Structure 1
Amino acid sequence: MTDETLPILYVPDPRLRKKARPVAQGDGDAVRALAARMLATMYAAPGIGLAAPQVGSDLRLIVVDVGGKETPAPMVLVNPEIIAASREMEVREEGCLSLPGQYADVERPARIQLRWLELDGTKREAEADGLLGVCLQHEIDHLNGVLFVDHLSALKRNMLLRKLAKELKARESRD
């Protein structure tokens, strides 16, 4: 881990279940520094999204990049909120940096409309669908203490969490 990256919290860390607080005007410098380190952490993981609670911060801040290595398109969203969602649903496989190696099909709205602030305070609003829409919903869930496994049946969720606990324990014994 370099100075630029941050440690990622794993389930069952209780900080992943806390609702993040809105970024306030006085948080500007800290948020810019945190956003840069979150992007570095996300790319190093590697992942396509990361929420501040996943690195131990209680701020409503997410970073995403679904552009891929050839066409990176990093986005930093401060205080993001979903203001509308389609009735049409779509199922996609999801994973999470806080649940390494665990994947499951999750049903979410196919399209969302969201509102957020840029790092410079500019207000933005946009529609998102496809991979970007899913990624944004997943990361905004983190800001509310919700994990992708919470969208699964109790049986599937418990199987996945038991498997993760076993893998993390095995990883710790190797280290």
Structure 2
Amino acid sequence: MKLPIVAYGDPVLRKKTEEIDEDYPNLKALIDNMFETMYGARGVGLAAPQIGLPIRLFVIDASPFAEDDEDEPGDPALKDFKKVFINPIIVEEAGDKWGFSEGCLSIPDISEEVMRPSHVLINYLDENFDEHEVELTGLAARIVQHEYDHIEGKLFIDKLSPLKKAMLKGKLDSISKGQVQVSYKMKFPQQKKGR
């Protein structure tokens, strides 16, 4: 089932999230719905706060970045990078910071270059609550860092310069009011009722 994605301005996107355990209600269905919602919105990652849940859970399928583009070959390592991250902890971020244009399903129609470290070591539980610790680099590391920020109450726009943020203020206000065209279901925090 596709769930509505919470838009910029909703307080849930600024909350530090809570850990969950195996008894979390309907967890398997929630994970399935998160993947379906993400695919429906043509995203590569989706964190629980983006569907209104303040829990430490996100899903990723980076395979769109693995597909060969006519101009630029994709990253073959991302072909099978489909994972569920429960209660993740970033153990270490390392390497040179590099820029890449990021967007977010909760902040449609805005993408900006964000600088992030090139390597990340993350500890997490999968959907079966088996523990993993993996080192990721490049785009895989970036996608994980972006989604991890969500469960820490942070957004990619927080990494922009004050000037850039000031320039985006009007667009961000419009998004929170629902004054944006999207091809997927969204919940807008400041949208007037009855429209």
TM-score relative to the length of structure 1: 0.89
Q: Counterpart of 1:64?
A: 60
Structure 1 consecutive aligned stretches of length 4 or more whose deviation exceeds 3 Å = 69-73, 170-173
**Structure 1 segment 1-175 matched on structure 2, within 5 A:** 4-27=1-24, 29-68=25-64, 71=79, 73-166=81-174, 168-169=178-179, 171=181
Moved more, 154-163 or 133-142: 154-163
Provide the rounded CA distance (Å) in 2 between the counterparts of 1:59 and 1:170. Answer: 27
Structure 1, unpaired ranges of 5+: none
Higher share of residues assigned helix: 1
Higher relative contact order (CA 8 A, sep 6+): 2
Provide the rounded CA distance (Å) in 2 between the counterparts of 1:170 and 1:53. Answer: 20
**Residue deviations 1:54-84, cap 9 Å, x none?**
0011110000111128646421111111101
> When the two structures are aligned, how many residues end up with a matched partner?
170
Provide the rounded CA distance (Å) in 1 between the counterparts of 2:136 and 2:95. Answer: 14
Residue 151 of structure 1 deviates from its aligned partner by 0.5
**Residue deviations 1:67-124, cap 9 Å, x none?**
1286464211111111011142111110000000100111111100000001111100
Residue 158 of structure 1 deviates from its aligned partner by 2.6
Task: Say if 1:30 and 1:105 are closer, same or farther in 2 by CA, change over 3 A.
Answer: same
Q: Is the 8 A contact 1:19 1:144 kept in 2?
A: yes
Provide the rounded CA distance (Å) in 2 between the counterparts of 1:170 and 1:73. Answer: 31
Q: Is the 8 A contact 1:100 1:164 kept in 2?
A: no
SS of match in other structure, 1:36: helix
SS of match in other structure, 2:26: helix
Provide the rounded CA distance (Å) in 1 between the counterparts of 2:180 and 2:104. Answer: 19
Structure 2, unpaired ranges of 5+: 68-78, 182-190
**Residue deviations 1:22-60, cap 9 Å, x none?**
012321x52222111000000000100000000011110
TM-score relative to the length of structure 2: 0.80
CA RMSD after TM alignment: 2.0
Query: Percent identical across equivalent pairs?
Result: 38
One-letter code of the match for 1:19? K
Provide the rounded CA distance (Å) in 2 between the counterparts of 1:160 and 1:67. Answer: 30
